[in-house]
Amino acid sequence: MPEPVPNFSNSVKLKYVKLGYQYLVNNFLTFLIVPIMAALIIQVLKLGPEEILSIWNSLHFDLLQILCSSFLIVFIATVYFMSKPRSIYLVDYSCYKAPVTCRVPFSTFMEHSRLILKDNPKSVEFQMRILERSGLGEETCLPPAIHYIPPTPTMETARNEAEVVIFSAIDDLMQKTGLKPKDIDILIVNCSLFSPTPSLSAMVVNKYKLRSNIKSYNLSGMGCSAGLISIDLARDLLQVVPNSCALVVSTEIITPNYYQGSERAMLLPNCLFRMGGAAILLSNKRKDSRRAKYRLMHVVRTHKGADDKAFKCVFQQEDPQGKVGINLSKDLMVIAGEALKSNITTIGPLVLPASEQLLFLFTLIGRKIFNPKWKAYIPDFKQAFEHFCIHAGGRAVIDELQKNLQLSAEHVEASRMTLHKFGNTSSSSLWYEMSYIEAKGRMKKGDRIWQIAFGSGFKCNSAVWKCNRTIKTPTDGPWDDCIDRYPVFIPEIVKL
């Protein structure tokens, strides 16, 4: 008996249909142009040598026409290259690695909490529940002043922390890149909650004896997304200052901002925020294009500060006892979701392939015209990026973005492991995540990286990078002594 014909309809999976659709739409121009070019070449080959020569002889070239045409071509080319934005390269970066003496295991953190809040056991229990579900590990670090019982935050200890974190990161960057102080044309330092006088940027100028004509900026009060704001500012400056280098330093100084009260909404940052900092070298020099790790493609910034709830969802204030801390609103995740929605609406057309943009457009038209209850189509950003660096603000932030963007566990691995190893290092967390991907040997030439950060105000900022060369697995950096242990399993609740 002949073998029964297999039912191919059952074997064809929807994902393969979608892959075919994506291939067809994304390569539509290729499919259109190749047959036309092939037909033209065939027609030319059919002509004999005499016919081709007669056609050539029939053409009449006037010297004036040739000169005018040449001038027009040169003029258009000049205008194009003059108006084209300069390429901004990320030469290299460095992340601060705190010494083991600054580590705060769960047992140490809770013991200190019980001693400091001995009159308020409910607040101690609250911190324990947060820590159990935080996604942090046993190796996160706090500055020396916070290890005292009670903590002793002073201006001197805060400056000491700033000097150790910032100078260590810059020293390491200079060693890796061969950068000299006189080569720095632009300096940008961002630190949200510690803004002394003289500024942190002035402190860097003084330490490294930078040039007197350096363009120096100090950004404060802009939250965990300030790192990408600094990148955006550096990009704008490098567009108008040719042949220049920009040094960007992102950090958050914990010492003066450790809350010592008992308000639950203000105790939350104590459980999540830890020491960290990063120094980044950007350049618009052509000679740096070969050695640079990445090229900056896009920066998209979204600000929801016009809305009162968004403005106050991360708010520095005094509690009833007059102790200053950061109040995190219960509406934070909802507001972050709205900010992300606005941000990806802007960045989508810049990065998504045509197939995803068409699906999104058709769904939008269908909901407007036919049925408003149709499920909104979420673009597949995995088609646009190979790597995702989501701000390690907390487990809930990473979970929400993984769900909304339909990302796999591997896509958010760098964010989860950074939160586990270093905690929430504020604006510098994105660079620890980038370093994790490099340490795993996953960063290849042509790979695209999406950095997403959230900050007070409320802001959602994105930066898109393209890998300039395949990155060799580094032998140094913040992950050098532990990368073989990662990824680790992080339980939903760690019983303390």
Name the catalytic one among 102, 420, 461, 468.
Answer: 420
Catalytic-residue membership of 411: no
Name the catalytic one among 141, 191, 224, 467.
Answer: 224
In-domain check, residue 492 = no
Name the catalytic one among 27, 147, 160, 303.
Answer: 303
Catalytic-residue membership of 303: yes
Long-range contacts of 345-352 (CB under 8 A, 24+ apart): 346/300, 346/302, 347/298, 347/300, 347/462, 347/464, 348/379, 350/298, 350/300, 350/464, 351/297, 351/298, 351/381, 351/384, 351/385, 351/448, 351/450, 351/464, 352/379, 352/381, 352/383, 352/384
Name the catalytic one among 190, 343, 424, 468.
Answer: 424
CA angle 242, 245, 251 (to 5 degrees): 140
In-domain check, residue 7 = no
Q: According to the model, what pLDDT value does residue 26 have?
A: 59
Catalytic-residue membership of 147: no
In-domain check, residue 42 = no
Q: According to the model, what pLDDT value does residue 168 have?
A: 97
Q: How far apart are CA 149 and CA 113, in angstroms?
A: 9
Listed in order, strand segments (DSSP E) in 329-458 are 387-390, 448-455
In-domain check, residue 29 = no
In-domain check, residue 36 = no
Q: How far apart are CA 332 and CA 419, in angstroms?
A: 19
In-domain check, residue 83 = no
Q: How many residues does the chain have?
A: 496
Catalytic-residue membership of 387: yes
In-domain check, residue 494 = no
In-domain check, residue 339 = yes
CA angle 315, 319, 321 (to 5 degrees): 160
Angle between helix 106-116 and helix 121-133 axes, rounded to 10 deg:
160
Name the catalytic one among 245, 257, 387, 467.
Answer: 387
Overall number of domains in the chain: 1
pTM of the model: 0.86
State the DSSP string of 192-235.
Answer: SS---SS-HHHHHHHHHT--TT-EEEEE-S-GGGHHHHHHHHHH
Amino acid identity of residue 420, one-letter, is H
Mean pLDDT, 10 residues at a time, the chain of 496 residues: 43 49 59 75 72 69 73 77 82 96 94 89 91 93 93 93 97 95 96 94 97 96 94 96 96 93 89 96 94 96 94 92 90 91 88 82 76 74 93 92 92 96 96 97 95 93 96 91 93 81
The domain that holds 438 is classified in CATH as 3.40.47.10
Q: Which domain, by its residues, includes 228?
A: 88-485
